[in-house]
Amino acid sequence: MINKQDKKLFDLINKELTRQQDGLEMIASENYVSENVLRVMGSILTNKYSEGYPGKRYYGGNKYIDEIENLAKNYAKKLFGVTHINVQPYSGSPANQAVYFALCKPGDKIMGMNLLYGGHLTHGWKVNFSGKHYESIQYTTDKNGFLDYDSIENLVKKEKPKLIFVGTTAYSRIIDFERLAKIAHDSNAFLVADIAHIAGLVVAGIHPSPVGYTDVITTTTHKTLRGPRGAMIMCNGEQLNPTRKIDSVIGWRESKQNIPTLIDRAVFPGLQGGPHNHTTAGIAQALFEADTDEFKKYAKQIVKNAQKLSQELSNNGLKIITGGTDNHLILIDVTTFNITGSQAEKSLELAGITVNKNAIPFDTRSPFDPSGIRIGTPALTTRGMKELEMTQIAQLIVKALKNHNDEKILKNIKSEVKKICKKFPIYKKVKY
């Protein structure tokens, strides 16, 4: 237990534990790690400095750290079916930055999905490093919120970017990696898949894998993969002799065979120092857990829950972007209830339901107070909830949004939420 001399910290952590236990965590990018991952993350591994890679460290005493990192990499290779893995990126954004650093030079033209249409900051958004250090071209969805592959193809032919990022943070449909690969490679562009949101669905076979189609794959490990807050970069190819000099800005065809080496050099020493060894071990534990039939059933249930929840919300008058979902998340236009995304987020939080405000395609409102909210089912599914609970939760969400100005009703909904949560406890053995 945490030393109670620091009572403020002790109390705050326990308050957050209670909040998570008593509320519905429905932010699509959040999940609960297992108790074993929690234990590993709090282990003595955090004490060790390990700059470099297994067998090539700049510090001594890394015999067991090397074995742990290799274990994580081998688990990932098996799960994803790739030949090269880097598990050292501190999180998803640094992983994406490393890909740019490896394959592009400042000023190169890149392309990614517009943030306001479901993309990510690091895919070329104007206020992010990716939009400031590179010439960024952004693609969007069609008017119904679906990826428009014909439009993307025309844009690629016109702009001829050096690198294309595909991946989303608020898109509820299957991504056609095969079609995107043809579009990119016909124009001699690198194609990078950011599967941070769907990695757990990919390893379970619920969503098509980008392996074999994209040149590089990045992912966080803390969303549907149910691991700690870290990231991985994956690719196929043979790693070259580390002493061989390689120009990271040479041509597309020449670079492809060198991608593993370019990626590793970009992560270290290009962008990072010592890896977070406790996180690496947490990733290994999560990957071990993901390689089970139980996890595959869990991933299938995530999608079943999302589809049931989407159906129930739609039946109760909410507008679902694209009309439904193929994965773990749902993007909702809440203005049909005469409420904004920001108001919806706040009222639902008062009701014990945590979501996030989110722009919808062709949103006419500000990103700080958009027209929609984004919700997801990974954390609810981890607790053991199924379709019956999704029906109950949909009714509570609708009731909260319709009565967003009535604190008494929101308080009553919070009591109902707490009753549901007590049936599906988390971290029964965890105390601080």
Catalytic residues: 49, 51, 194, 220, 223, 229
Name the E strands within 221-328. 231-235, 319-320
CA angle 282, 287, 288 (to 5 degrees): 95
β-bridge mates for residue 376, sequence order: 329
Q: Is 199 exposed, middle or buried (0-12, 13-18, 19+ CB in 10 A)?
A: buried
What residue has token string 């120092």?
A: 273
Let me know: does 87 contact 232? Beta carbons within 8 Å. Answer: yes
Q: Is 244 exposed, middle or buried (0-12, 13-18, 19+ CB in 10 A)?
A: exposed
DSSP H or E segment with residue 254: helix 252-256
Residue-by-residue DSSP string for 56-120: EESSS--HHHHHHHHHHHHHHHHHHT-SEEE---SSHHHHHHHHHHHH--TT-EEEEE-GGGT--
Sheet holding 163-166, edge to edge: 84-86, 231-235, 216-220, 190-194, 163-166, 109-113, 135-139
**Distances from the Cα of 386 to the Cαs of 26, 30, 171, 394, 424, in angstroms?**
14, 18, 22, 12, 11
What residue has token string 């990018």?
A: 29
User: How far is the C-alpha of 375 from the C-alpha of 345, rounded, in Å?
Assistant: 10
Which residues does 426 contact at the CB level (< 8 Å), separation at least 6?
A: 20, 21, 32, 382, 383
Q: Is 213 exposed, middle or buried (0-12, 13-18, 19+ CB in 10 A)?
A: buried
β-bridge mates for residue 216, sequence order: 192
Give me the count of residues in the chain: 432
Using alpha carbons only, how large is the chain's radius of gyration in Å?
Answer: 22
Among candidates 26, 37, 1, 16, which has minimal Cα distance to 281?
A: 37
